[in-house]
A and B are shown apart, each in its own frame.
Chain A
Amino acid sequence: MQHQVLIVDDSKLARMVMASAFRRLRPDWSLTEAVNAKEALEAISGGSVDIALVDFNMPGTDGLELISRIRSVSPHMPVAVVSANVQDEIISRARELNAAFVAKPLTDEALGAFLSGAALRLRKKA
């Protein structure tokens, strides 16, 4: 089953790396990019986003704040925080928001594991 994935990262390089991993792992899924929280919430309110991958360290609203706002409209959407900030506090705050944590630098293995889990959750819900 194909899914619509939202990538939220202020860094173009980070979005390129993510898109390149998707071409290897899930070439048939479609990607939407957002560079900040505002764009991300607009994309999500459009209703077509199934899965979101959110950078933590962004100007303005950070990734965890964004996810807590996503949760108020989409309590069950599979979401991951993607960050090199591997502090225990950040990872546990992600868990409290029912979000996965995927470390940067991104590996196909870590992204693939999150996407498989997300696909499974979406299938169960359907």
Chain B
Amino acid sequence: MIADLSELSEVERDAISEIANMGVSRAAASLRQMVGEQVLLSVPTVRIVSRKEAAERVELGNSHRLVAVQQSFEGPFAGRALLIFPEGQSLELVRSIVGPEHSLEDIIDLEQEALAETGNIILNSCLATIANVLQKPMRMSLPSVIRGDGATMFATGVRNRDPNLVLFLYIDFTIKSRDIRGFIALLLDLPSIVALKEIVRDFIDGIDRQ
């Protein structure tokens, strides 16, 4: 069977959402622990879209100025994971993590580095859980902080043959009782979509055999 690159079957989409949900739930639990407040998650959306559509989606309802922590991952499939916030909220996030005893100056000093470490924890929690569920080890890069609009977030950094289509998985989260919301997004290039489809099919077959 030749994998259809532009379509996911119902069961593939469902399985990918479910696996991603396990990863993101663990990430939300990590964030909850760091900020000490409940973190609410949306239902994950999985789609194969152009990078332009992905960029438009993260800008929806947000200012165009975004800040993201990104980590690349490599294994049987490769891509990028991003933790994205409207830029105006990143200081508030850092403040809620380091605690109220620090001055605004300290928080501004720490912002870049605190965002990187927070992203590292959240994205690693998510990706490591997905790797464990699929039983496929993955290597994660060091985190980096990027600032810009949706196009900046998704334009570069992924090796692929077709620069336009990506598997785009995103989940909105809100930190209850603080005005902080953001996204976790995973981006996979086309060769990786084919590899992921195979792994997901094996995973589904594995469930059927149990």
A-side contacts of B114, CB under 8 Å:
13
Task: Please state if A84 and B128 are interface contacts (CB–CB under 8 Å).
Answer: yes
Task: Please state if A89 and B137 are interface contacts (CB–CB under 8 Å).
Answer: yes
How far in angstroms is the closest Cβ of chain B from A81?
12
Interface of A is mostly: loop
* Size of B's binding interface in residues, CB under 8 A: 27
Compute how far the CA of A89 lies from the CA of B137 in the bound complex, rounded to whole angstroms: 7
* Size of A's binding interface in residues, CB under 8 A: 19
Q: Is B21 among interface residues, defined by CB-CB distance under 8 A?
A: no
Q: Mark B83-107, 1 if CB is under 8 A from A, else 0.
A: 0000000000000011000000000
A11 contacts which of B30, B117, B122 (Cβ < 8 Å)?
A: B117
Compute how far the CA of A105 lies from the CA of B114 in the bound complex, rounded to whole angstroms: 13
Interface of B is mostly: helix
Q: Is B108 among interface residues, defined by CB-CB distance under 8 A?
A: no
Task: Please state if B140 and A85 are interface contacts (CB–CB under 8 Å).
Answer: yes
A-side contacts of B124, CB under 8 Å:
57, 83-86, 104
Residue of B with least CB distance to A60: B142
Q: Is B113 among interface residues, defined by CB-CB distance under 8 A?
A: yes
Task: Please state if B120 and A11 are interface contacts (CB–CB under 8 Å).
Answer: yes
Residues of B participating in the A interface, judged by any CB pair closer than 8 Å: 26, 30, 33-34, 97-98, 110, 113-114, 116-118, 120-122, 124-125, 127-129, 131-132, 135, 137-138, 140, 142
Instruction: Report the 7 A-B pairs with minimum CB-CB distance, sorted nearest first.
Output: A84-B124, A11-B117, A84-B121, A13-B117, A87-B128, A105-B33, A13-B114
Contacts A105-B33, A105-B121 known; list 17 others, CB within 8 Å.
Answer: A11-B116, A11-B117, A11-B120, A57-B124, A59-B142, A83-B124, A84-B124, A84-B125, A84-B128, A86-B129, A86-B132, A87-B128, A87-B137, A104-B30, A104-B121, A105-B30, A105-B34
